[in-house]
Amino acid sequence: MKDTQNDIFTAFIVALFQQTESLPLEVQSEFNKIDETSPVTDILRLTKLHSPLLVAYKNNRIWLTKHSKQRNQKTGYNSDSAKQNATNTEIDKAASDIGALTNLLNFIDRIDPEVKQRGLRSVLENMLQSRDSVQASRDTIIKFYNLKSKV
Protein backbone atom coordinates (compact mmCIF):
# COMPACT_ATOMS: atom_id res chain seq x y z
CA MET A 1 0.00 0.00 0.00
CA LYS A 2 1.41 3.36 -1.02
CA ASP A 3 1.66 6.03 1.66
CA THR A 4 -0.63 8.96 1.18
CA GLN A 5 0.80 12.43 1.45
CA ASN A 6 -1.36 13.17 4.50
CA ASP A 7 -0.16 9.99 6.25
CA ILE A 8 3.45 11.02 5.64
CA PHE A 9 2.81 14.53 6.94
CA THR A 10 0.91 13.28 10.00
CA ALA A 11 3.64 10.81 10.93
CA PHE A 12 6.23 13.55 10.44
CA ILE A 13 4.38 16.09 12.60
CA VAL A 14 3.98 13.59 15.43
CA ALA A 15 7.64 12.54 15.10
CA LEU A 16 8.65 16.18 15.51
CA PHE A 17 6.39 16.46 18.54
CA GLN A 18 7.96 13.36 20.08
CA GLN A 19 11.48 14.82 20.02
CA THR A 20 12.81 15.59 23.48
CA GLU A 21 15.18 18.34 22.30
CA SER A 22 15.29 20.96 19.59
CA LEU A 23 16.78 19.79 16.33
CA PRO A 24 20.49 20.37 15.74
CA LEU A 25 21.10 23.70 13.98
CA GLU A 26 22.25 22.11 10.72
CA VAL A 27 19.09 19.98 10.61
CA GLN A 28 16.85 22.94 11.48
CA SER A 29 18.52 24.88 8.68
CA GLU A 30 17.51 22.16 6.21
CA PHE A 31 13.96 22.26 7.58
CA ASN A 32 13.79 25.99 6.89
CA LYS A 33 14.58 25.42 3.21
CA ILE A 34 11.35 23.46 2.70
CA ASP A 35 8.15 25.27 1.70
CA GLU A 36 4.66 24.33 0.56
CA THR A 37 5.84 23.80 -3.02
CA SER A 38 8.45 21.23 -2.00
CA PRO A 39 7.71 17.62 -2.92
CA VAL A 40 6.81 15.11 -0.24
CA THR A 41 10.16 13.42 -0.89
CA ASP A 42 11.81 16.41 0.79
CA ILE A 43 9.88 15.63 3.97
CA LEU A 44 11.09 12.04 3.82
CA ARG A 45 14.66 13.29 3.30
CA LEU A 46 14.38 15.46 6.42
CA THR A 47 13.59 12.45 8.59
CA LYS A 48 16.93 10.93 7.62
CA LEU A 49 18.93 13.93 8.84
CA HIS A 50 18.39 13.21 12.54
CA SER A 51 18.26 9.60 13.75
CA PRO A 52 15.79 10.13 16.66
CA LEU A 53 13.41 11.80 14.20
CA LEU A 54 13.78 8.93 11.74
CA VAL A 55 13.03 6.30 14.41
CA ALA A 56 9.93 8.17 15.60
CA TYR A 57 8.75 8.75 12.02
CA LYS A 58 9.10 5.06 11.10
CA ASN A 59 7.22 3.95 14.23
CA ASN A 60 4.44 6.43 13.48
CA ARG A 61 4.15 5.30 9.85
CA ILE A 62 3.80 1.67 10.90
CA TRP A 63 1.15 2.59 13.44
CA LEU A 64 -0.72 4.87 11.04
CA THR A 65 -0.75 2.27 8.28
CA LYS A 66 -2.21 -0.33 10.61
CA HIS A 67 -4.81 1.90 12.23
CA SER A 68 -5.77 3.91 9.15
CA LYS A 69 -7.04 0.72 7.57
CA GLN A 70 -9.15 0.01 10.64
CA ARG A 71 -10.49 3.55 10.80
CA ASN A 72 -11.41 3.56 7.12
CA GLN A 73 -13.23 0.24 7.28
CA LYS A 74 -15.56 1.54 10.01
CA THR A 75 -16.39 -2.07 10.85
CA GLY A 76 -14.55 -4.01 13.43
CA TYR A 77 -12.70 -0.92 14.63
CA ASN A 78 -12.36 -0.89 18.37
CA SER A 79 -10.89 2.36 19.66
CA ASP A 80 -10.19 0.79 23.06
CA SER A 81 -7.96 -1.87 21.52
CA ALA A 82 -6.31 0.75 19.31
CA LYS A 83 -5.50 2.82 22.36
CA GLN A 84 -4.01 -0.21 24.08
CA ASN A 85 -1.91 -0.94 21.00
CA ALA A 86 -0.66 2.64 20.78
CA THR A 87 1.83 2.32 23.60
CA ASN A 88 4.83 2.31 21.24
CA THR A 89 3.86 5.69 19.87
CA GLU A 90 2.84 7.34 23.08
CA ILE A 91 3.46 11.05 22.85
CA ASP A 92 5.94 12.51 25.29
CA LYS A 93 4.17 14.58 27.95
CA ALA A 94 6.80 17.30 27.91
CA ALA A 95 4.46 20.10 28.94
CA SER A 96 1.56 20.07 31.38
CA ASP A 97 -0.67 21.61 28.69
CA ILE A 98 -0.48 18.39 26.73
CA GLY A 99 -0.92 15.99 29.60
CA ALA A 100 -4.23 14.71 28.24
CA LEU A 101 -2.78 14.06 24.79
CA THR A 102 -1.55 10.55 25.48
CA ASN A 103 -1.43 8.69 22.19
CA LEU A 104 -1.33 8.96 18.44
CA LEU A 105 -4.97 7.95 17.99
CA ASN A 106 -6.05 10.82 20.22
CA PHE A 107 -3.81 13.22 18.28
CA ILE A 108 -5.26 12.18 14.93
CA ASP A 109 -8.82 12.51 16.17
CA ARG A 110 -8.03 15.98 17.50
CA ILE A 111 -6.40 17.39 14.37
CA ASP A 112 -8.60 15.80 11.68
CA PRO A 113 -11.17 18.64 11.55
CA GLU A 114 -8.49 21.34 11.37
CA VAL A 115 -6.50 19.44 8.76
CA LYS A 116 -9.58 18.95 6.61
CA GLN A 117 -10.16 22.70 6.71
CA ARG A 118 -6.56 23.89 6.14
CA GLY A 119 -4.71 20.86 4.80
CA LEU A 120 -1.72 19.15 6.38
CA ARG A 121 0.74 20.83 4.03
CA SER A 122 -0.36 24.22 5.39
CA VAL A 123 -0.06 23.02 8.98
CA LEU A 124 3.35 21.53 8.33
CA GLU A 125 4.72 24.63 6.63
CA ASN A 126 4.48 26.64 9.86
CA MET A 127 6.61 24.04 11.61
CA LEU A 128 9.22 23.88 8.89
CA GLN A 129 9.67 27.64 8.71
CA SER A 130 9.99 28.07 12.48
CA ARG A 131 13.29 28.69 14.27
CA ASP A 132 12.46 25.62 16.39
CA SER A 133 10.39 23.04 14.52
CA VAL A 134 10.03 20.81 17.58
CA GLN A 135 8.51 23.61 19.66
CA ALA A 136 6.34 24.71 16.72
CA SER A 137 4.96 21.17 16.42
CA ARG A 138 4.12 21.17 20.13
CA ASP A 139 2.45 24.58 19.91
CA THR A 140 0.41 23.42 16.90
CA ILE A 141 -0.73 20.20 18.54
CA ILE A 142 -1.68 22.02 21.74
CA LYS A 143 -3.66 24.52 19.67
CA PHE A 144 -5.53 21.74 17.83
CA TYR A 145 -6.17 19.91 21.07
CA ASN A 146 -7.60 23.05 22.69
CA LEU A 147 -9.75 23.86 19.64
CA LYS A 148 -11.35 20.42 19.74
CA SER A 149 -11.83 20.55 23.52
CA LYS A 150 -13.84 23.77 23.26
CA VAL A 151 -16.24 22.36 20.67
Phi-psi region of 81 (alpha: psi -120 to 50; beta: other; left: phi over 0): alpha
- What local confidence, expressed as pLDDT, does residue 95 receive? 36
Contact yes or no for 52/15 (Cβ under 8 A) = no
What pLDDT is recorded for position 6? 77
Residue 26 exposure: Cα atoms within 13 Å on the Cβ side: 3
Spatial separation of the C-alpha atoms in residues 131 and 135, rounded to whole Å: 9
d(CA 1, CA 7) in angstroms, rounded, equals 12
The pLDDT, as a whole number, for residue 133 is 94
Which residues, other chains included, contact 133 with Cβ-Cβ below 8 Å and sequence gap of 6+?
16, 22, 23, 28, 31, 127
Q: What is the pLDDT of residue 96?
A: 34
Chunked into runs of 10 residues, the chain (151 residues) has average pLDDT values of: 72 89 96 86 94 94 79 54 40 39 64 72 84 91 67 46
The pTM (predicted TM-score) of the whole model is 0.71
What is the CB-side half-sphere exposure of residue 3 using CA atoms within 13 A?
Answer: 20
Sorted by where each begins, the domain ranges of the chain are 5-150
